[in-house]
Amino acid sequence: RHGAVAIAAITSCTNTSNPDVMVAAGLLARNAVQRGLQRNPAVKTSLAPGSAVVTAYLERAGLMPSLEALGFHLVGYGCTTCIGNSGPLAQPVADAIREHDLVVIAVLSGNRNFDGRIHPLVRGSYLASPPLVVAFALAGTVELDLLRQPLGRDPRGSPVYLKDLWPSAAEVREVVRRVVSPELFAARYRDVFTGDATWQTMPVSAEERFSWDPASTYVRQPPFFVDLAKEPHRPAGVEGARVLVWVGDSVTTDHISPAGAIPADSPAGRYLVEHGVKPVDFNTYGARRGNHEVMLRGTFANIRLRNRLAGDREGGWTRHLSSGELMTIYDAAVRYQQDGIPLMVIAGKEYGSGSSRDWAAKGPRLLGVRAVLAESFERIHRTNLIGMGVLPLQFLPGETAQTVGLDGTEVFDITGIEAGLRPGQQLAVRARKGGSPKTFQVIARLDIPIEVEYYRHGGILPYVVRQLVAKRGPNALP
């Protein structure tokens, strides 16, 4: 039913680095097991602390068996559910969600709960402390008052409330004092740079330069330095651009470049299948971020993206304006590139909020996006766009796409770039549709001189390469 908890995950190096909350989760699990409670069978549970020290002190405290009895088995150390590495739900649960269009929930002790990030089938995600993650795994739903309604019933049928299981602060402190020590950390990290047998026996080339494997589906040589001229070309204006994506407010970098599961019927999924990868081995966008072919196909592929050009269709879809066809954003971008048409993105406020994800700038650049026109930008994402040679343009105060009369189907020209840019300069945008074009002013969000220089070079990567060549000569780079 709606509000059911589908995922309960103690995850992320941030919260799991706090012994107090991890011990509290273990004590709550112990108390629940002693009362005869069980995890709701529809809930997928996992434990993924950021350090092996956590499981060491939980084992020393005798709390791991209780956590495991409720399904919180160790799945690894590091990023899991928080970045979308949730893995598949049980098939009956997944089928029920799809059949009844259910809004199910993930409760996790991680850092991020952006739309569509945790799992493709999970629409709601809530961040909670590790002991509360255990509590919601027992309850199986978020539609209850934890202070007044029971989490479950014991074998005798008596209600068991959160207050019956919650450990006291004194008990938590005593266990932490007894099991957490500097020696434990020293022992675990003494050989951290030595690595295990797998690391030590990994074949490594003796060459100084990385040997690209053209058959790899994980790491491929990116095209950022292809045909790089010794000197930058003077930035030209943008003529005849079409809108690839038009989004609203608070679009996150997860909407722009998802990190989670790769659907089999997506452009990235089809690419992997064509290269001999079975869907069970797809892994995630985050794991394959060394392959630009996967990542550019995953750009704007978040299943919760709402692109106004796609009407009511949710996900990575757009309308190819030249033909009127509805297609994936990737397929439309390829067709535009074949026709030599530059692209734009139109957005509302706080475009690029959330994680500082480099592929949220790299992906649009590789799709052919030359400029993003927004009401405002998240600070770091704005600089990332500049770093990839994408021009961030901002509506004047009080203006929006609607107030200047845009509908997204226009042909756009951005003029004034070719004359040279300076920080905070205003540029003219001409939107052509039918007989009379609309012209309005925007602010080029190149805020400081070095950002102007990065943009002039086509991004920070060409800028750095040219600086190295200028200082060390043409043999400075391979």
Q: Which tens digits make up the pLDDT trace of 43-84?
A: 999 999 988 899 999 999 999 999 999 999 999 888 888 777
Cα 467 from Cα 31, distance rounded (Å):
62
pLDDT at residue number 117 = 79
C-beta neighbour count of 430 within 10 angstroms: 15
The angle, 0 to 180 degrees and rounded to 10, between the axes of the packed helices 359-367 and 379-387 is: 40
For the domain made up of 238-470, give the CATH fold: Aconitase; domain 4 (3.20.19)
pLDDT at residue number 120 = 81
Contact of 361 with 324, CB cutoff 8 Å:
no
pLDDT at residue number 476 = 58
Judging by DSSP bridges, how do beta strands 44-48 and 105-108 pair with one another? unpaired
pLDDT at residue number 147 = 92
C-beta neighbour count of 249 within 10 angstroms: 13
Cα 268 from Cα 284, distance rounded (Å):
10
pLDDT at residue number 475 = 63
User: Which segments of the chain have a pLDDT < 70?
Assistant: 13, 474-478
pLDDT at residue number 278 = 96
Residues comprising the chain, all counted: 478
Contact of 70 with 176, CB cutoff 8 Å:
no
Cα 84 from Cα 354, distance rounded (Å):
14
Question: Among residues 243, 244, 245, 246, which one has the least CA distance to residue 412?
Answer: 243
Locate tokens 């406020």: which residue? 349
Question: Among residues 26, 30, 32, which one has the least CA distance to residue 154?
Answer: 32
Contact of 332 with 262, CB cutoff 8 Å:
no
Q: What is the pTM of this model?
A: 0.86
pLDDT at residue number 474 = 64
Contact of 344 with 241, CB cutoff 8 Å:
yes
Measured between alpha carbons, how far is residue 266 from residues 284, 296, 302, 314 in Å?
A: 13, 12, 10, 13
Locate tokens 């920070």: which residue? 460
Cα 261 from Cα 278, distance rounded (Å):
14
Contact of 51 with 188, CB cutoff 8 Å:
yes
Contact of 49 with 13, CB cutoff 8 Å:
yes
Cα 296 from Cα 142, distance rounded (Å):
36
DSSP secondary-structure letter at 217? S
Locate tokens 């029971």: which residue? 150
| Domain residue ranges in the chain | 5-190, 238-470
For 333-425, list the strands marked E by DSSP: 343-346, 369-374, 391-395, 411-415
Cα 177 from Cα 204, distance rounded (Å):
44
pLDDT at residue number 355 = 81
Locate tokens 């961040």: which residue? 127
Helix (H) or strand (E) holding 427: strand 426-432
For 43-161, list the strands marked E by DSSP: 44-48, 105-108, 124-127, 152-153, 159-160
Cα 8 from Cα 168, distance rounded (Å):
23
Contact of 337 with 329, CB cutoff 8 Å:
no
Cα 334 from Cα 340, distance rounded (Å):
10
CATH 3.30.499.10 assigned to domain 5-190? The reply is yes
Measured between alpha carbons, how far is residue 291 from residues 259, 386, 417 in Å?
A: 13, 22, 32
Helices (H), 275-396: 292-297, 329-338, 359-367, 379-387
Give pLDDT tens digits for 40-51.
Answer: 999 999 999 988
pLDDT at residue number 255 = 93
3-state secondary structure of 87: coil
Domains 5-190 and 238-470 share a fold: no
The angle, 0 to 180 degrees and rounded to 10, between the axes of the packed helices 460-472 and 449-457 is: 90
C-beta neighbour count of 93 within 10 angstroms: 20
